[in-house]
Amino acid sequence: MQDLNCALTEIDVMLPPKQYIKNIIQVTCDKLDYLFGTVIEIDENGDANMIASYNLPENYPEMVNKVEASILSGPAGEAFETGKILVVHNPFSDPRLAPWKGMEIITGPIETIIWIPLFKSGKVFGICAYHNENKKEMSDSDLSVLEQIGVMISIAITSNQYLGKLTRKTNELEKEIIERKKAENQLQQLSDELEIKVEERTLELSEANNKLQLFRNQIDQSNDAIFVTDPETSLILDANEKACTSLGYSREELLSTKIIDFEMKYQDIDLWKDHVDEMKINDYQTIAGVGAHKRKDGTSFPVEVNAKLINQDKKEYLVAVIRDITERKQAEKEVRLNEARLAALLKISQMKEATITEIADFVLEEGIKLTESKIGYLNTVNEDESIQTVISYSKDVMEQCNLNNQIKFVTENVGLGAECIRQRKPVIINDYSAPHPNKTNYPEGHVSILRYLSIPLFYKEKIVATAAVANKEDEYNDSDVRQLTLLMNGMWEHIKRIESEKELMDTKNYLDMIISMSSDGIFVIDAEGRFEFCNDACCEISGYQKNEYIGKSFMGLIPEDYIQFMVDRWQEAQAGECGPYETVILRKDGTRRNLLVSRGNFILNKQQKHCSIIKDVTTDYAGYIDMILKDMKENRED
């Protein structure tokens, strides 16, 4: 939408009205993605006269003239009668447009037509129509923009009508005066008739003046400031209401003011005249640029300027359209700050081996840059929020206040430095000299503070740290709070992530040590029955090395007489049964080992895994068999 507004403001308002209207239609079609557009004036009899169009198919007017139905019998009539914008999707399926059904041959498929009523003196006198080959959903904001475009076109048409009518009436009046001079002998006879005609002309001029005032009112409603100035002196000859309000002057004050009094780019008459000469050298073309205006109260704001020299009645005037671009500049600044903050967060994420102090120092430095401050500090807060510990101070504070790191403060004894903890929200003080109930005096040698911003950092609903910056040249605002808060949150998340990664690594090392020291074999197999992990005890029991295990099917260790038994156990495991059992495996050297197996299932990365703990009970079995043989021998001897 900003592109549309910029393009509309670039249209030369001094063009002939019909060309000006056509340019409006063209810009609207290009910027809002319409196929073509038309402007139609409708007289009191309902007869239509197309006065402007853009991108219209060549034989479109010929096809329209062949349609016998009145244009007001279609949806255009509804817009004309109601005075409201009408949007029709799949228009040629609308019965009201049946007479125009054949138009699809030359226009191609049209999915959306929008009819915008045009007003003059509170009555609809025409229609502006836009055609789109795609279905176009219209928001309230879109309709509002089209309504404003309709106002611009209405003004242009009205101006055209007024100028034509005024010219005709002026010519008639001049002719009558000439005729009166030629026929002085008939003056008395015609005086009564002439008086009547003068009264009629006076009434017409009054009406024309009312229309001119209406046009003036519409200019005053513009969101852009408009100035008419004397190019020689830069004295303001006329200005709209926006020009007055933007600079803080009354109309009377502004009309006694010169451009060089508030345009910071041209603060003396010589610079101004150089500017005017440049416009003359460029064949009076519109010159666009940016500058800054100073208000009556001394504050300034950035502006975008479109200026043009015009000749009127053999006299030159400079017309300038000025737009306040404060919001645009703020948005651009916000984008730069966001990019700088993201770059800082990226840098933080790469500080894997840095200490917390090193990270805090870096974050504080970036926070001072992002908020355009001069000094700052970072504190951590203990569990009950009663103690603050300094982890980073800006260099200037350290030097001027003779401080060192790891200073501790009791929260209840700290003045404004703990206010964000008390209020549990960011605190902005743009006049530090003003009275405040919690402000304490500076300690001797403390750096002077002009403006101050502090924020609390929350983690799991508790304040874990605070950050403060000070002495920004301009006032602190919500953007500073947002940038500093997001940066601090990123720092804390990084610190917690490093701590979590360390805890995970410590836990892994602890579990690895337990598993490696276990005398029982521990292994993990995937859903296909292949080994993914085994400990040293597994290797000792089976005689295989770890690299021989990984990727090998567990069935490769089972003797033939236990194959079916293990198939059944495997099916039980896949069904979720986790009871212990005993089985036999073949070692790498071909010997058999008896195992007691405990098993369990778990999910890792959305894949089912099976973990088993095996105990070699071969020796136990051998002892048990020896005991049975001994008993059998004794029984035979008996």
- Count other Cβ atoms within 10 Å, centred on residue 527: 12
| pLDDT at 1 (0 to 100) | 65
pLDDT of residue 632: 61
Task: Give residue limits of the domains in the chain.
Answer: 2-162, 222-324, 331-501, 518-624
CA dihedral over 336, 342, 348, 352, signed as positive or negative: negative
Cβ–Cβ under 8 Å, residues 254 and 248? no
The pLDDT of residue 582 is 92
Instruction: State the pLDDT at residue 446.
Output: 65
Query: Which pair of tokens denotes residue 530?
Result: 């292949």
Mean pLDDT in runs of 10 for the chain (638 residues)? 79 82 89 88 80 80 74 84 90 81 70 91 89 87 88 82 76 81 72 79 79 72 88 90 90 90 86 85 75 90 88 86 88 81 79 82 88 90 88 71 62 81 91 79 69 91 91 90 88 84 84 83 91 91 89 91 91 86 92 91 87 86 55 59
pLDDT, position 407:
77
- Residues in CB range of 571: below 8 A, 6 or more apart: none
193 touches 180 (CB < 8 A): no
Strands 86-89 and 112-120: what pairing? antiparallel
Assess contact for 46 and 39: CB atoms under 8 A.
Answer: no
Rounded to an integer, what is the distance from CA 25 to the centroid of its chain?
28
Indicate the burial class of 229 (C-beta count within 10 angstroms; 0-12, 13-18, 19 or more): buried
Integer angstrom CA distances of residue 600 from 537, 542, 573, 617: 18, 21, 8, 20
* pLDDT value of residue 249: 93
Same fold, 222-324 and 518-624: yes
pTM: 0.46
CATH number of 222-324: 3.30.450.20
Position 597 scores a pLDDT of 92
**Which of 134-139's residues contact partners 24+ apart within 8 Å by CB, and which partners?**
134/33, 135/89, 135/90, 135/111, 136/33, 136/87, 136/111, 136/112, 138/87, 138/114
Tokens of 406: 């790891």
Beta bridge partners of 593: 585
pLDDT at 467: 92
φ and ψ at residue 507, rounded to 5 degrees: -65, -40
2-162 — its CATH code? 3.30.450.40
Residue 362, Cβ density class (10 Å: 0-12 exposed, 13-18 middle, ≥19 buried): middle
Return d(Cα 269, Cα 153) in angstroms, integer: 38
CB 130 within 8 A of CB 114: yes
> 380 — phi, psi (to 5°)?
-95, 155
DSSP 605: T
d(CA 389, CA 463): 13
Residue type, 469: V
370 exposed, middle or buried (CB, 10 Å; 0-12, 13-18, 19+)?
A: buried
CATH level 3 topology of 331-501: Beta-Lactamase (3.30.450)
Q: Tell me the fold of 518-624.
A: Beta-Lactamase (3.30.450)
Question: Residue 519 — left, alpha, or beta (φ > 0 → left; ψ -120 to 50 → alpha)?
Answer: alpha
- Sheet (strand 225-229) strand order: 236-239, 225-229, 315-324, 300-312, 287-294
Rounded to whole angstroms, how far apart are CA atoms 582 and 518? Answer: 19
Nearest one of 28, 34, 37 to 1, comparing CA atoms: 28
Structure tokens at 499: 């701590």
pLDDT digits (tens, 9 = 90+) for 92-141: 788 888 787 767 655 678 889 999 999 988 898 889 999 888 888 888 88
Q: Which stretch of DSSP H or E encloses residue 30?
A: helix 17-32
